Amino acid sequence: MMNKFASIRQYGTHRALIGQTTSENAQSVRLPLDAIIVPGTRPAAGLDQAITLARAANCWLLILASERLKGIEAERFLASRSFRKGIVIDFPPTHSHELLTFSALDSVNSELPPECGFYTSDLSAKRNVSLILGKMLGWRRVFFLGDDIRDITSPDLQATINMLGSFSAAGMRVTEFPDNSVVCHANRATGGPQDVFVSGAALAVDCNQDMGFFPDIYHEDWLFFYDAAASRQLADSSLQATQLTYYPFADSKRAAWQEFGDALGEGLYSLLHRDGNAEHATHEYWSHFLQVRRTFLKEILGRSQNADKRVRVEIADSVEAALECSLQIKPEVCARYVQAWRRDLNDWKWRVARIPAISSLGEVLAIDKALAELGLTRIAPQRNHPDSLRVWDNLAAALDGAAAAHGTGADQHRPGPLADADGGIVGRSDEGVPGRPVTIKAASGVQVGNNNVQNNYYGFRARPARLPRRREDWLPSRADGGAPSMPVDYPRRGHAFISYVRENSDEVDALQRTLEAAGIPVWRDTASLWPGENWHAKIRDAITRDALVFIACFSCHSAARRKSYMNEELLLAIDQLRLRQPDDPWLIPVRFDDCRIPDFELGPGRTLTSINRADLFGPSRDQAAARLVVAVQQLLRRPSPRPPEPEGAGAANPVRP
């Protein structure tokens, strides 16, 4: 393979490792895209381009939100753009799942330089979750898109996706602002030769190929597609994208934090230039490469006077911090890390190959079930959020203005708008004739997202639709078949009733937030009772008349209470359960700790302990909560009648002890 290590060096470019550098010879057949995946941390307004691309590709948009990006804000932004193929998840900072365990790497992490702990990132975890979710849902092709990436056109995205007909992964070049490490930015700034490489921030992946995973380390994307690069199955479309500008030398700790991953990635790819692979990344190899790396860093420091005088000091500080970290990196740790990565990679591939596809449900239920299996829930679609209503009001007013300009009153010969495949308004039919476009000067400035109405939806397949006259007609309550209305997840009247003791108020607060984030209406005594109301009658009605599911929350606190309102609520619920068919899953027990559930009789051969429960505690809490959400969603969607009232049910109110 190589004459020992005499010619080891750090390369300024890795273009020689790319299987194809242009998209000219890519498949001419348009390959469909299943999903665009955005691991988001920036405010929701930054999702505008992702929405535009997903709409053009007619694919799902998966947004995993954390830090400054809140799931509910992302969902509202999607609603303001009338985009309905979004999956928004608030990604928990402590999320874990058995499919996402990498035990070999975990055993090595404690040996890494302490600088590796300067920052924490959930980027790798989000991407790995997305790969598993895609496997469950049968997604073939996905596109990872950073929330700091801009200026990708729909044709460029499609050209990159088409390259998956010949390659297992294909990326775009993020050249403005260059997607490099701090050290590589310093190399360029001081006059060194420095290129950019394929990036996980604009990466198309064929999920049917032998997929890698993203380790929790800097250059996680380089390790993800390392085997593809080794087999020349990694493509570069040569199409360019823009990264939001930032100052890489603002904090020298950033360079120190990146150094282990940067050195590891450069060392592994240096082997590929020499016809080697990860098997050749031995202790001896790393001893030589780390010396090369430190020489590289010292050369940058020696050229620091070539940099702009305004940034020289910060560049030197950053590179010195990287060099200080490099001096702590041991060759044996690098060798062990690579070995652990390869062991975990083999285990990952074995696990992923055995993930069954969820194919027996509709798309929405399949998504909810897959997320539940991963211990996650999606934010409920915000169909009638005020932002969406304001957009609709502005658009309707503009269209009325156009009608007036044509000499027709708002109520005379009102032309119907054209709705795209997602239901977004794209234009109007001339004088009520479907399919004939009209130039609407008054509407040309109406903003939907960051584009005007005509540009935002230009070119999409349209169908006639009738414009609602009033704001209220846009709300989900309208179901008379007239004006178009937003889809409604739970059209039946009712709620999920939560029964608990006051000592568990904090746990119930968290449960209520989880349910309501998934669009599930909740009835709870602290929020649903108003001053002056007969609370005995209200609680009874809330259980016996309007509860589509009854959630009984048990804990050591509830077990210790000899008397409680929860006991009375539970007895009412059991009476209701006895009126239902044995296979009607209406009551769901929940445990907040390892307590004993009371063994109440429910009927012949049935007790409360025989009902499958949800344990919202311990390491599997998130997964159990997600499964609970899916179970409740399914109960709220099914068209089952309310059980008959028992004789004399309304004669008297129960007396609380």
Provide the pLDDT for residue 637.
65
Instruction: Tell which residue, 536, 642, 627, has the closest CA to residue 579.
Output: 642
Q: How many CA atoms lie within 13 A of 222 on its CB side?
A: 23
Q: What is the mean pLDDT of residues 237-255?
A: 90
pLDDT higher than threshold 60 for residue 133: yes
Domains along the chain with CATH numbers: 15-373 (3.90.550), 386-474 (no CATH), 495-637 (3.40.50.10140)
pLDDT band for position 470 (cuts 50, 70, 90): very low
Among 49-63, 306-320, 433-447, name the one with the lowest average pLDDT: 433-447
Residue 351: DSSP 8-state: H
Token pair for 138: 């049968």
Instruction: Tell which residue, 637, 595, 583, 590, has the closest CA to residue 616.
Output: 590
Which residues have CB under 8 Å from 322's CB, separation 6+? 182, 183, 255, 256, 258, 259, 262, 297
- 299 against 447, higher pLDDT: 299
Provide the pLDDT for residue 8.
85
Provide the pLDDT for residue 231.
93
Provide the pLDDT for residue 26.
52
pLDDT higher than threshold 50 for residue 72: yes
Q: What is the mean pLDDT of residues 122-148?
A: 96
Residue 371 three-state SS: helix
Could you give the percent of the chain with pLDDT greater than 90? 51
Per-residue 3-state assignment (H helix, E strand, C coil) for 15-80: HHHCCECCCCCCCCCCCCCCEEEEEECCCHHHHHHHHHHHHHHCCEEEEEECCCCCHHHHHHHHHH
Question: What is the C-alpha separation between 77 and 85, in angstroms, rounded?
Answer: 13
Which residues have CB under 8 Å from 110's CB, separation 6+? none
pLDDT band for position 28 (cuts 50, 70, 90): low
Q: How many CB atoms are located within 10 Å of the residue 88 CB?
A: 29
Among 25-39, 364-378, 490-504, name the one with the lowest average pLDDT: 490-504
Q: What is the mean pLDDT of residues 543-552?
A: 83
Instruction: Tell which residue, 284, 386, 538, has the closest CA to residue 80.
Output: 386
Q: How many CA atoms lie within 13 A of 634 on its CB side?
A: 18
Question: What's the alpha-carbon Rg for the chain, to the nearest Å?
Answer: 29
pTM for this model (two decimals):
0.65
Instruction: Tell which residue, 352, 20, 24, 52, has the closest CA to residue 169.
Output: 20
pLDDT higher than threshold 90 for residue 648: no
Q: What is the mean pLDDT of residues 487-504?
A: 69
Among 123-132, 383-392, 600-609, 627-636, name the one with the lowest average pLDDT: 383-392
pLDDT higher than threshold 50 for residue 406: no
pLDDT higher than threshold 80 for residue 419: no
pLDDT higher than threshold 90 for residue 492: no
pLDDT higher than threshold 60 for residue 377: yes
pLDDT higher than threshold 90 for residue 261: yes
Q: What distance, in Å, lies between the first and last C-alpha atoms of the chain? A: 84
| Residues facing 552 on adjacent strands | 499, 589
pLDDT band for position 5 (cuts 50, 70, 90): low
CA angle centred on 139, ends 134 and 144, rounded to 5°: 65
pLDDT higher than threshold 80 for residue 380: yes
Q: Over the chain, what is the mean pLDDT?
A: 78
Q: What is the mean pLDDT of residues 504-512?
A: 89
Provide the pLDDT for residue 591.
95
State the angle between helix axes of 71-80 and 386-405 in degrees (0 to 180), rounded to the nearest 10: 10
pLDDT higher than threshold 50 for residue 23: no
Provide the pLDDT for residue 453.
29
pLDDT higher than threshold 70 for residue 643: no
Provide the pLDDT for residue 467.
33
DSSP, residue by residue, 560-578? H-SS-HHHHHHHHHHHHHH
Q: What is the mean pLDDT of residues 195-215?
A: 93
Please, are residues 57 and 152 in contact by the beta-carbon 8 Å criterion? no
Biggest alpha carbon–alpha carbon distance for the chain = 95
Please, are residues 614 and 589 in contact by the beta-carbon 8 Å criterion? yes
Among 273-287, 311-325, 611-625, name the one with the lowest average pLDDT: 611-625
pLDDT higher than threshold 90 for residue 561: no
Instruction: Tell which residue, 386, 407, 367, has the closest CA to residue 86.
Output: 367
Instruction: Select the highest-mean-pLDDT range: 165-169, 503-507, 632-636.
Output: 165-169
Instruction: Select the highest-mean-pLDDT range: 338-342, 434-438, 610-614, 642-646.
Output: 338-342
Instruction: Tell which residue, 384, 423, 474, 491, has the closest CA to residue 76.
Output: 384
- 147 against 475, higher pLDDT: 147
Instruction: Tell which residue, 246, 250, 245, 218, has the closest CA to residue 317.
Output: 250
* Structural element, H or E, at residue 417: strand 417-419
- 118 against 35, higher pLDDT: 35
CA distances from 484 to 55, 119, 394, 516 (A): 20, 48, 17, 25
Provide the pLDDT for residue 25.
52
Instruction: Tell which residue, 86, 79, 44, has the closest CA to residue 389.
Output: 79
Provide the pLDDT for residue 459.
28
Provide the pLDDT for residue 3.
53
pLDDT higher than threshold 50 for residue 129: yes
Token pair for 427: 């234009």
